[in-house]
Copies of this chain bind each other. A is one copy, B any other.
Amino acid sequence: MRAAETAGADALLLTHGADVRYLSGFTGSSGAIALLGGRATLFTDGRYANQAKAEAKGLRVVIDKRPPEIQAVEWLASSGATQCAFDAGITSVASLERMKKALPQPLRRGFFLPTEGLVARLRQIKDDDEVARLRRAAAIGCGLFAMVLEYVTSSATELQVAAQLEFMARLAGAEAMSFETIVAGGERSALPHGRATSARLPAQGFVTLDFGVLLDGYCSDMTRTVHLGRATEQEWEVYHSVLEAQQAAIAAVAAGVRCADVDEAARSVLRRAGLEKEFAHSTGHGVGLEIHEGPRIAAAQEQILEAGMIITIEPGAYLSGSPGGSALKPDAMAAGRSRVASSRSRRVHPVEKGFGVRIEDMLLVTRSGCEVLTAASSRDWMEL
């Protein structure tokens, strides 16, 4: 409510599922919270009558057939609200029109005050209970990775590995996966979002696994890249450049640090290794009730990290193949690591087949640094 008052309104309407759950505990798919004069009321429909009362303790609960946001608006109007902040990033144009029509004519003009992310900003800082849930979700992620490794063989398809991983996740109590499982083998590891397909894993090549569970409403997110068969020197180089970038970013994380500086910590390592263009996405994101929340760990992000934020750090490098050629520029390679034997040659490490590497951990920002919630799962080079 303080957030709404800051915006100048005396009332606040929330309709986004994650916001409603965050403030009330209510997990139904259809609900709206109206706040006025320090009192919060949850509106939902008959399907959720018992559930709303059980979950949204301390809130007044109103059940009605009409859409919850219409109920909420009518109640606010009849309770003397004069201006109501709503989330313009969530509310559709059509929904706002319907809400306006639910108001008495004299109130319509200027009643609704568009804001964005009022609750999403609060949700960035996790309380102890949320940290505990995210810690459990992250721990399950680590366990799943350890268990699924025995299925990561060249006789398996990406889909079979994903199926095993998801099966074990469900048996471990996950409500669902927190996003589409990525199992990307061989050349498909060069796709940043290579969701599992019926493609067979390679006899020789990387396999990237990026996955998370939804546990008690909260998301986990982690990525590991392993190698099947014997790797080339370049594969080894790129892996360790990404790992170095990831560790540099993790080392940069602490309350008070700008998100852009954490991103740059990872990006500068990959730049020195000649892999800047091969790292085309941001370094990380907040995670909680939703898989992608604030803050964004990306270039030009001025936001300051705060203790209690839970974020991912996930740099990667993706090299597309070009028959007979090298994806790395020779000059860039010259700036690379010592295992590069003859960095002046144009074809020291030809990348006939593309490949990619990403390493991702989930971590809790603390005053002095951070705690890696997925630390139980090793990031060491793994040749299976």
Q: Which residues of A contact B (CB under 8 A)?
A: 46-47, 88-97, 114, 116, 159-160, 162-164, 166-167, 170-171, 173, 175-176, 180, 192-193, 195, 198, 280-281
Q: How long is the Cα–Cα vector from A88 to B193 in the complex, in angstroms? A: 30
Q: Nearest 6 A-B pairs (CB), nearest first?
A: A163-B170, A167-B167, A88-B94, A88-B93, A89-B94, A163-B171
Would B94 and A114 count as touching, CB distance under 8 A? yes
Would A47 and B193 count as touching, CB distance under 8 A? yes
Would A192 and B47 count as touching, CB distance under 8 A? yes
The 20 sampled A-B contact pairs (Cβ below 8 Å) are A88-B92, A89-B93, A89-B94, A89-B95, A91-B92, A91-B93, A92-B92, A93-B114, A94-B114, A97-B114, A159-B171, A163-B167, A163-B170, A164-B167, A166-B167, A166-B170, A167-B167, A167-B170, A173-B198, A176-B180
Nearest chain B CB to A240 CB, angstrom units = 25
CB neighbours (8 Å) of A92 from chain B are: 88-93
Known: A88-B92, A88-B93, A92-B92. 15 other contacts (CB 8 A): A47-B192, A47-B281, A89-B92, A90-B92, A91-B93, A92-B93, A94-B116, A162-B170, A166-B166, A166-B167, A166-B170, A167-B170, A175-B180, A175-B195, A176-B180
Q: How long is the Cα–Cα vector from A102 to B175 in the complex, in angstroms? A: 41
Nearest chain B CB to A177 CB, angstrom units = 8
Nearest chain B CB to A32 CB, angstrom units = 16
Nearest chain B CB to A9 CB, angstrom units = 15
CB neighbours (8 Å) of A47 from chain B are: 192-193, 280-281
Most buried by B among A175, A180, A195: A175
